[in-house]
């Protein structure tokens, strides 16, 4: 049976997020995806055929992958890692709160020569799937993307290498 579009999307997500581990080998990415899905098996069963539960499973899957990546970076060579979930609170994606939360993360990443800033749920926070993508919402989304990039560039030293992942 061919994989579902959601399974392919998750596999692509894992392959991108863990590229430094898998070397873009889809078999290894599939193994990581299967391990994360196994840890969320009960939630995955509830998600079958229920769109609301499927959204919760996707959020839990993304959070579990971020925790796994953070654990990998904390045990390996010195590499900074910060995960900012834009949908953590209702106000996280607003410019004032986004700046405060990102500044805390950038301060945490400052001592590292190499670091990763993982930004998740920014698009659903500003362009909810159950609402129309109005020009105003799209403009706010584009502005916050540019804001995150500019803030990271301004608060990172010239010799540091920071990878920003928007998922």
Rounded Cα–Cα distance for residues 80 and 74 (Å): 8
Give pLDDT tens digits for 5-22.
Answer: 778 888 888 888 887 777
Rounded Cα–Cα distance for residues 82 and 48 (Å): 32
Give residue 102's Cα distance to chain centre. Answer: 14
Q: Which of 21-25, 36-40, 82-86, 90-94 has the highest mean pLDDT?
A: 82-86
Query: What is the pLDDT at residue 104?
Result: 92
Mean predicted lDDT score pLDDT of the chain:
83
DSSP labels for 78-99?
A: S-EEEEEETTSSTTTTSHHHHH
Q: Is residue 149 predicted with pLDDT exceeding 70?
A: yes
Rounded Cα–Cα distance for residues 151 and 167 (Å): 18
* Confidence category of residue 76, pLDDT binned at 50, 70, 90: low
Query: What is the pLDDT at residue 57?
Result: 79
Q: Is residue 92 predicted with pLDDT exceeding 90?
A: no
Give pLDDT tens digits for 42-69.
Answer: 777 776 667 677 777 788 888 888 888 8
Helices (H), 18-155: 19-22, 26-39, 41-47, 51-75, 95-109, 122-126, 135-154
Q: Is residue 30 predicted with pLDDT exceeding 70?
A: yes
Q: Would you say 14 and 65 are in contact if contact means Cβ atoms under 8 Å apart?
A: yes
Among 43-47, 84-88, 153-157, the minimum mean pLDDT is found in 43-47
Question: How do the domains of the chain map onto residue ranges?
Answer: 1-64, 77-167
Whole-model pTM over 0.75: no
- DSSP H or E stretch at residue 163: strand 161-166
User: Which of the pair, 123 or 2, is modelled with greater confidence?
Assistant: 123
Q: Which of 17-31, 50-64, 148-162 has the highest mean pLDDT?
A: 148-162
Rg (CA), the chain: 17
Q: What would the mean pLDDT of 100-118 be, rounded to a whole number?
A: 91
**What tokens does 25 get?**
């080998």
In 3D space, the residue among 143, 142, 144, 162 whose CA is nearest the CA of residue 152 turns out to be 162
């Amino acid at each position: 049976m061919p994989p579902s579009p959601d399974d392919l999307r998750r596999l692509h997500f894992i392959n991108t997020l863990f590229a430094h581990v898998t070397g873009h080998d889809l078999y290894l990415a599939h193994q990581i995806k299967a391990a994360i899905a196994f840890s969320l098996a009960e939630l995955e069963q509830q998600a079958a055929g229920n769109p609301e539960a499927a959204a919760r499973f996707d959020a839990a899957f993304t959070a579990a992958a971020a925790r796994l990546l953070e654990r990998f970076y904390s045990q390996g060579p010195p590499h900074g890692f910060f995960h900012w979930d834009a949908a953590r609170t209702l106000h996280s994606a607003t410019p004032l709160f986004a700046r405060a939360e990102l500044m805390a993360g950038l301060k945490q990443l400052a001592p590292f020569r190499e670091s990763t800033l993982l930004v998740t749920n920014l698009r659903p926070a500003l362009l909810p799937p159950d609402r129309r993508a109005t020009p105003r919402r799209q403009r706010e989304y584009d502005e916050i993307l540019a804001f995150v990039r500019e803030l990271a560039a301004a608060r990172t030293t010239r010799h540091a290498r920071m990878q920003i992942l928007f998922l």
